[in-house]
Structure 1
Amino acid sequence: MSEISKQILSVGDLNRAIASSLEERFDSVWVSGEISNFKAYDSGHWYFSLKDEEGQIRCVMFRGRNSQVGFMPQSGDLVEVSANLGLYVPRGDIQLTVQSLRRAGMGGLYEAFLRLKAKLANEGLFDAERKRDIPSHPRSIGIITSPQAAALKDVLSTLARRAPHIPIVIYPTLVQGPDAPAGIMAALKAAEKEHAVDLLLLVRGGGSIEDLWAFNDEQLAYAIAQSPIPVVSGVGHETDVTIADFVADLRAPTPTGAAELAAPRKDQLLQELAAIEQALLHRATQRIEREAQTLDQLALRLNHALPNPDRMREQITNWQQRLNQAWNVRVDNLKRNQSHFAAQLEMLNPQRTLERGYAVILNNQKQAARHPKQLNTDTSFEIRLAEGQVQVQFSEVLQGQ
């Protein structure tokens, strides 16, 4: 007997020994089965069982791993899991710790999907910085899908309900089969060439991974990334994920969801316009009231700056009176000066001197003789007296001592 069988073990020790033995025996296994009792906890961890006709086993898939699955499993799904076999010591239950999970039968397709996803992610095609902004109010919307697709009817119905004012352009193409990728790329090119829309919806209804495989085409991924027109993908159901979803500028869970993300609701737009109108009216009213107050202040300052008309008339009357008084005083002064100057002038008048008995002798040039030597007997002289003048000629001029 081995040493361990000779010992008396506790239940916990025994379970730990079994767990260690299982981990050493089974490194990693692939197991297929049907999911039952699936539960997704708030912690992000998944708990479920895998079963078939012969048995079942408990499984756990932790949050860090299940974020890579790409769909939400449901009870009844047939899946394949890669897992480590172990034992949950507290309960003694054998369980699988799942590392990856895929739909049963996907095998090679899923592996190809993961390889392409990793490649394009490394090239930066999924980076948020590369993606274009989705116009909040598109002027026109293009739809890339099959005209026979049920998704088209849902999209058109949603757009007609939410935004009947936005023109719609349909770019028909196959969305399933080997020729679908080339058709979708041709539709992208046609939309780019026509310049008729400023937003594209790439939509298709749900299906198996094989049905949606056209949207995992590598060249299509590059075409979506290089499209100058923003692309919203709405491929399959909410749990379906394709490469086109990762490359698109915005991913919608369904075709209807893509239409809802692309087109703003008409009633919401009208509400926003009404709110903008009220805001503009309020600001305009505030501005008018502010300017009216400024005008009142300027009018008040103007009233203080300009003199009162009555006061101005009173000042003019006073100035006129003062001017008249000043003028009268000036005239009186001028009259007095005139009388004084007239008296002075009268005193200097030669006539007054003549009236006192004097006379003045003028030569031919009407110049007054001031010296006896200016008198002679050769010419005549004019003698002016107080009451007239006479012409005389001297017969003899005697010089006094």
Structure 2
Amino acid sequence: MPSPLLQSLFDEEELKPMTVSELNSQVKGELERRFRNVWLEGEIHNFSAPYSGHWYFSLHDSAAMIRAACYRGSNYRIRFQPFDGLQVRVRGQLTIYEPKGDYQLLVESLEPVGEGARRVAYEQIKSKLAAEGLFDAKLKKKLPPFPRRVGVVTSQTGAALYDILNVLLRRAGSVSVILIPARVQGESAAFEISRAVQLANEYNERSDFASRVDTLIVGRGGGSSEDLWAFNEEPVARAIRASAIPVISAVGHEVDYTIADLAADVRAATPSAAAEIVAQREEDICAALDRRTNDLFRIMNLQLLEKRSYLQELQPSTAVLDRLRHAGSRLETINIQLSPLRLASKVGDGKATLGVTSQRAESAISSAIDGKLRSLKIAAAKLDALSPLAVLGRGFAIAENEKREILRDSAQVEVDDVVNVKLEKGSLTTKVLSKK
């Protein structure tokens, strides 16, 4: 059954003259109605991209060609720059450019055909972003030393989420997880991933410090290069680089790097590996606390040993004082014992003699004690003058070899020997670099 347009064109009874404009307009309307959503495969020829932002080219197969145009409103979503000779699959609408009557395809989407073409697209995006400095190491942010809350951008039904949660629950139970779900495969995946990264940052902007996400894992499990292609999209790379939250890329591919890997602050080969990186930060903290605790105990023990050694060095002075105290105690005992003895042995007139004798004895004892104290002070002054501690207090030091022998001559040591140096406060362990 012919269409109304064709019927009107060839029905002789209704045939009447038309203008060219009318004809082109009617044909255009018919084509756009009948061929609204057309898929074609072919090879690009005569590609051009003028300053208007539109693309113009022709699409060829082995026997025919058709003109094509992809306007700026559509081509901004295409992830690479087409070029002559590239095999592509396009979707669009047939139309006519009325002023010239040119039959053409208005392209709405375009994608390369085959792995080779996909690799070309990858290299184009990579080169473009690298030229902008998007992968510069100076732009990469350090992961926080004490991660508290991790954001995860991935599919809520994929294995990647399970792997991340499993590792964190097992090795870093204190770290909480916030899921920002996104499709990780398909036509809308790149948009959803980049939007999820933006949402994580917007969440931080309106949250207090304790509630903020401090690390972001963006990724998925393994798959073919086509499955992983969303992570090569330009919007994903730009969202990762613009993120104020440090990003760990976790695309499950051991060999190849995605564009997201290059843009991320840290790259992990798999989602599990990304979780291991976060968990390792907590283990590092525990290990550091253990080291600091051991260092504290070691320093305390060294200080106790130094105080004990200092007390041992003071023992001779303490012994002299102890002997003086003992002598004074004995004198008091003798004085007490003498009084009743003399009273018992004398009677009558002997009381006066006893009093005189007692006074003389007390005077003699006091004189003896005073003499001993003076001698002790003189001896103490001499001891202080000769004491190593007094020498140290004047800024000198005592050097000993490893056998604890005091060094008086440089001939007693050799280069590279270890020498212990005692100061007024503390000590040093040194190494002989040279000798004269």
Q: Output the TM-score relative to the length of structure 2.
A: 0.44
Largest Rg, 1 or 2: 1
- Choose between structure 1 and 2: higher helix proportion: 2
Q: Structure with the greater relative contact order (CA < 8 A, sep ≥ 6): 1 or 2? A: 1
